[in-house]
A and B are shown apart, each in its own frame.
Chain A
Amino acid sequence: MSGRARIAPRISLPVKIAALTSLPILGVMVAALFVVNRRLADEVNLTVAADLSRAALAFENQMAREGENLERVGVVVARDPKFFALLTLPRGDRKDADFHGTLQGVAQDFQRDAETPVFDVTDEHGVVLARAGKPDSSSDVRSHWPLIERAIHGSAGRGYLVEEGRAYRVAVVPIFVDGSLVGTLTLGRPIDSALAERLKATTRSEVVFIVNGRTSIRTALGDGLAARLASTHSSGATRVSDGEERFLALSGHLEGPTSGGTVGFVLLRSLDQETAVLGRIGRDLTAAGAALIVVALLVGILVSSGITRPVRRIVEAASEMRDGNYDFPLDVRSNDEMGTLAAHFEAMRAAQRHEIERLEEIDRMKSDFIAIASHEILTPVTTIRAYADIMGEGTMGAVSDAQREGFRAIRGSAEALSRIARDLTNMSLIDRKRLPVDLKTADVGAIVEEVAVHTVALAAERRQMVSLAIEPELAHPRIDAEYMKKAITNLALNAVRFTRDGGSIEIGARRTGVAIEVYVCDTGIGISKENFEKIFARIVELKDVNLHSSGTTEFNSSGLGLGLSIARGIVEAHEGKIRVESEVGRGSTFTIVIPLPASESADSGDASLRLAS
Chain B
Amino acid sequence: MRIGLTAGGLFLGLLLGTTAAAGTVEGRVTLSPTDLSFRGGMKSNAYVGQLSGSAGHSGSMVPSDTTYGVAYLADSSAQGSPAPDPILLDQRGQRFIPRILAVVVGQVVEFRNSDNVFHNVFSYSPPKRFDLGRYPRGKSKRLTFQKPGLVQVFCDIHSDMRADIVVVPSGRFSYVDAQGHFRIDGVPSGKHSIVVWLPRRGERRIEADVPGSGIATVELSAE
Contacts and interface: CB of A to CB of B under 8 A. Distances in A.
A89 B124 contact: yes
A9 interface: no
A84 B159 contact: yes
Contacts of A82: 122, 154, 156
A80 B202 contact: no
Contacts of B77: none
Interface in A76-108: 79-82, 84-86, 88-90, 93, 96, 98-99, 102
Nearest to A93: B126
A85 B150 contact: no
A178 B152 contact: no
A103 to B, nearest CB: 9
Interface in B133-187: 149-150, 152, 154-159, 161-162
B193 to A, nearest CB: 16
A324 to B, nearest CB: 126
Interface string B88-126: 000000000000000000000000000000000011111
A3 interface: no
A179 interface: yes
B38 interface: yes
B41 A80 contact: no
B126 A85 contact: no
A389 to B, nearest CB: 173
Contacts of A84: 159
Given A93-B125, A99-B126, A178-B38, A88 B152 contact: yes
B39 to A, nearest CB: 9
A57 B212 CA distance: 81
A85 B38 contact: no
A181 to B, nearest CB: 12
B41 A85 contact: no
Contact of A90 (B38, B150, B157): B150
B156 A98 contact: no
A81 B156 contact: yes
Contacts of B202: 90
Contacts of A179: 40-41
A89 B16 CA distance: 36
A86 B156 contact: no
A176 B125 CA distance: 18
A178 B38 CA distance: 7
B41 A96 contact: no
B41 A79 contact: no
B125 A178 contact: no
Contact of B154 (A81, A90, A99, A102): A81
Given A178-B41, A179-B41, A89 B125 contact: yes
Contacts of A98: 126, 129
A178 B162 contact: yes
Contacts of B158: 81
Nearest to B123: A85
Chain A interface bracket (under 10, 10 to 19, 20 to 34, 35 or more): 10 to 19
Given A86-B124, A90-B202, A99-B126, A81 B155 contact: yes
Contacts of B149: 93
B132 to A, nearest CB: 13
Given A81-B154, A88-B152, A178-B38, A96 B123 contact: no
A96 to B, nearest CB: 4
Contacts of B154: 81-82, 85
A98 B150 CA distance: 16
B27 to A, nearest CB: 21
B159 A81 contact: yes
B107 to A, nearest CB: 21
A99 B126 CA distance: 8
A515 B154 CA distance: 141
Contacts of B41: 178-179
Interface in A176-230: 178-179
A81 B202 CA distance: 20
B125 to A, nearest CB: 6
A571 to B, nearest CB: 139
Contacts of A88: 152
A85 B121 CA distance: 12
A96 B156 contact: no
A84 B40 CA distance: 18
Contacts of A93: 125-126, 149-150
A141 to B, nearest CB: 24
Contacts of B155: 81
Interface in B12-38: 38
Nearest to A87: B124
Contacts of A80: 156, 159
A89 B129 CA distance: 12
A569 B119 CA distance: 146
Nearest to B157: A81
Contacts of B124: 85-86, 89, 102
A102 B126 CA distance: 11
Contacts of B42: 178
Nearest to A86: B124
Interface in A373-416: none
Contacts of B150: 90, 93
B159 A89 contact: no
B199 to A, nearest CB: 8
Contacts of B122: 81-82, 85
Contacts of A86: 124
Nearest to A84: B159
Contacts of A102: 124, 129
A121 to B, nearest CB: 13
A90 B198 CA distance: 12
A85 B150 CA distance: 13
A81 B126 CA distance: 16
Nearest to B197: A90
B90 to A, nearest CB: 18
A142 to B, nearest CB: 23
Contact of A89 (B152, B156, B157, B162): B152
A99 B123 CA distance: 12
Nearest to A76: B159
B7 to A, nearest CB: 34
Nearest to B126: A96
A318 B150 CA distance: 134
Interface of A: 79-82, 84-86, 88-90, 93, 96, 98-99, 102, 178-179
7 contacts: A80-B159, A81-B122, A82-B154, A82-B156, A86-B124, A89-B152, A93-B125
Given A81-B158, A98-B129, A178-B41, 19 more contacts: A81-B157, A82-B122, A82-B154, A82-B156, A84-B159, A85-B122, A89-B124, A89-B152, A90-B202, A93-B125, A93-B126, A93-B149, A93-B150, A98-B126, A99-B126, A102-B129, A178-B162, A179-B40, A179-B41
For the complex of A and B, 10 pairs with smallest distance between CB atoms: A178-B41, A81-B154, A179-B41, A96-B126, A85-B154, A82-B156, A81-B159, A81-B156, A79-B159, A93-B126
